[in-house]
Amino acid sequence: MATRSALINVMAAACLKAARGLKRDFGEVEQLQVSVKGPGEFVSAADVAAEKVLKRELAKARPNYGFLLEESGFQPGRDTSHRFIIDPLDGTTNFLHGLPHFAISVALEREGKLIAATVYDPIKDEMFWAEKGLGAYVNDRRLRVSARRNLADALIATGIPFRDRGDHERYLKTLAPAMRAASGVRRWGVASLDLAYVAAGRFDGFWEFDLKPWDIAGGLLLVREAGGDVSDMAGGQDMLTNGSVLAANPTLHDALRRLFAAT
Q: What is the pLDDT of residue 36?
A: 45
Among 18-27, 147-156, 211-220, 248-257, the minimum mean pLDDT is found in: 18-27
pLDDT at 37 over 80: no
245-248 vs 229-231, strand pairing mode = antiparallel
Tally the domains of the chain. 2
* Phi, psi of 157, rounded to the nearest 5 degrees: -100, 155
Closest CA to 104 of 188, 45, 16: 16
Task: Say if residues 180 and 172 touch (Cβ distance below 8 Å).
Answer: no
Burial of 2 (C-beta count, 10 Å sphere; 0-12/13-18/19+): middle
* pLDDT given for residue 3 in this prediction: 86
132 and 31 within one domain: yes
pTM value?
0.93
Answer whether residue 64 is part of any domain.
yes
Q: Is 83 inside any structural domain? A: yes
Which residue, 138, 163, 160, is CA-closest to 207?
160
- 1 in a structural domain: no
Rg (CA), the chain: 18
Single-letter amino acid code for the residue at 237: Q
The amino acid occupying position 205 is G
* CA dist list (Å): 215 to 31, 44, 61, 107, 189: 28, 16, 23, 10, 11
> 90 and 16, same structural domain?
yes
HEC profile for 168-212? HHHHHHHHHHHHHHCCEEECCCCHHHHHHHHHCCCCCEEEECCCC
Model confidence pLDDT, tens digit, residues 125-175: 999 999 999 999 999 999 999 999 999 999 999 999 888 877 888 899 999
Q: What is the pLDDT of residue 161?
A: 87
Question: Whose CA is closest to 233, among 263, 261, 205?
Answer: 261
In angstroms, the CA 243 to CA 233 distance is: 9
In this structure, the answer to whether residues 69 and 157 fall within a common structural domain is no
Identify whether residues 186 and 156 lie together within a single domain: yes
pLDDT beyond 70 at 68:
yes
* 138 and 218 housed in the same domain: no
